């Protein structure tokens, strides 16, 4: 966890402290991402803080050592055997994880999809994450505010096997069409350091003069593109990134990147752990809970996204704090019957 994440974690923990009295010490929450990725690092502190603040038995971050659906399934099965009784899971695959989620639910454990959704129908009580299409759309709109009509933009994004990637590609295309811009290139399958370095640097080396703007909708491409623009040294190209990696934040401060679309992984883990315990304590999800819909589920809760430009970047922790606090304060009354 980097300094910024620690500050965010500490700040949120202090801010959200109340209402732990009804917690169940037998609650053991497992927060399981699809594999190692910096986006999920905040879940570890979120779980630890939630366990402390709400008096849970534990809320542990358990990472499959690789991004393999089979390995994640194997880990989840192992966690059941180890006695975990609540699961916050980033689905390794929105469809492929449904079966294991249903099996976990059959053991009586509440299961929530976090940061990414399961395809309906599933036994997950809900999905809490970023509205990825909306985030990509808003990010592109922010980019186009800086560019004139007819701007040529490129889009660096994540893996094609992730259906969210197609949503992001469509959203960027829609925003570009509305703003009179042209998406001249989409480079996908690069949310890992090696392909991102190779493809982004090769593309910019060959086409830097043809590009007016860059929008990135995955963590690693945002980092790599930020570094590439810093190396090129030309601030003519306007870029909007995603997430809060220190490389991106520093590039915004130094003027190489226009801004970033922040997401809220800490809030997902913290609130998710709290809700898992409440559900184990007898609360139920309201039948008329005001869930949103997305391409995968009708039980979606937006964990928040916000644009942070040069003027906001020093206080981006505060921006995310306020989003999380609002969501947390109203969560029980909005979504649960207790």
User: Which residues are near other proteins by CB under 8 A?
Assistant: 36, 62-71, 73-75, 77-78, 80-83, 92-100, 103, 119, 159-163, 165-166, 189
Distance between CA 303 and CA 317 in Å, rounded? Answer: 15
**Which residue, 75 or 172, is less far from other proteins as judged by CB?**
75
Report yes or no: 304 and 264 within 8 Å, Cβ to Cβ.
yes
Closer CB to other proteins, 75 or 86, in the complex: 75
Q: How far is the CB of 322 from other proteins (least distance, A)?
A: 33
Instruction: List the beta strands (DSSP E) in 9-141.
Output: 28-32, 58-61, 86-89, 111-114, 127-129
Strands 306-309 and 259-262, bridge-based pairing: antiparallel
* Cβ distance to other proteins smaller for residue 41 or 214: 41
Residue 197 DSSP one-character state? H
Supply the DSSP symbol for 281: T
Residue (36 or 318) nearer to other proteins, CB: 36
Task: Output the smallest distance, CB 213 to other proteins, in A.
Answer: 26
**43, two tokens:** 């879940």
Tokens 């997430």 belong to 243
* Shortest Å, Cβ 68 to other proteins: 5
Q: How far is the CB of 165 from other proteins (least distance, A)?
A: 8
Q: How many CB atoms lie within 10 A of CB 338?
A: 12
Residue with smaller CB distance to other proteins, 70 or 255: 70
Q: Which is nearer to other proteins, 8 or 100 (CB)?
A: 100
Least distance in Å: CB of 282 to other proteins?
Answer: 25
Alpha-carbon gap, residue 92 to 104, rounded angstroms: 15
* Residue 121 CB, nearest approach to other proteins (Å): 10
- Distances in whole angstroms, Cα of residue 12 to Cα of each of 99, 186, 321, 330: 34, 36, 6, 15
* E-only strand ranges, 120-229: 127-129, 152-156, 182-187, 213-216
- CB nearer other proteins, residue 74 or residue 281: 74
Helix axes 132-145, 163-178, angle to 10 degrees: 30
Minimum distance, C-beta of residue 94 to other proteins, in the bound complex (Å): 8
């Amino acid at each position: 966890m980097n300094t910024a994440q620690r500050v965010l974690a500490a700040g949120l923990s202090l801010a959200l402290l109340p209402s732990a009295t009804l917690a169940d010490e037998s609650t053991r929450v497992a927060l399981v991402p699809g594999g190692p990725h910096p986006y999920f690092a905040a879940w570890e502190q979120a779980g630890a803080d939630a366990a402390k603040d709400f008096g849970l038995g534990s809320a542990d971050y358990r990472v499959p050592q690789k991004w393999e659906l089979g390995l994640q399934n194997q880990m989840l099965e192992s966690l059941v055997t180890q006695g975990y009784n609540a699961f916050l899971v980033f689905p390794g695959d929105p469809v492929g994880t449904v079966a294991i989620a249903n099996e976990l639910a059959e053991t009586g454990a509440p299961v929530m999809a976090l940061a990414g959704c399961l395809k309906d129908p599933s036994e997950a009580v809900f999905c809490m994450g970023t509205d990825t299409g909306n985030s990509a759309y808003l990010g592109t709109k922010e980019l186009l505010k800086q560019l004139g009509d007819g701007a040529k933009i490129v889009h660096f994004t994540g893996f094609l096997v992730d259906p969210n990637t197609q949503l992001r590609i469509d959203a960027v295309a829609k925003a570009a069409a509305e703003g009179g811009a042209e998406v001249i290139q989409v480079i996908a399958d690069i949310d890992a350091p090696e392909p991102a370095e190779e493809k982004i640097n090769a593309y910019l080396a060959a086409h830097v003069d043809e590009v007016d703007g860059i929008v990135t909708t995955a963590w690693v491409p945002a980092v790599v593109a930020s570094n590439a623009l810093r190396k090129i040294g030309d601030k003519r190209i306007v870029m909007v990134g995603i997430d809060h990696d220190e490389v991106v934040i520093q590039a915004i401060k130094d003027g190489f990147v226009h801004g970033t679309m922040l997401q809220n992984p800490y809030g997902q883990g913290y609130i998710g752990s709290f809700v898992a315990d409440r559900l184990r304590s007898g609360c139920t999800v309201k039948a008329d809970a005001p869930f949103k819909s997305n391409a995968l589920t009708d039980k979606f809760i937006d964990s928040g996204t916000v644009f942070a430009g040069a003027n906001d970047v020093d206080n981006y922790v505060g921006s995310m704090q306020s989003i999380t606090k609002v969501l947390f304060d109203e969560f029980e009354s909005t979504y649960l019957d207790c």
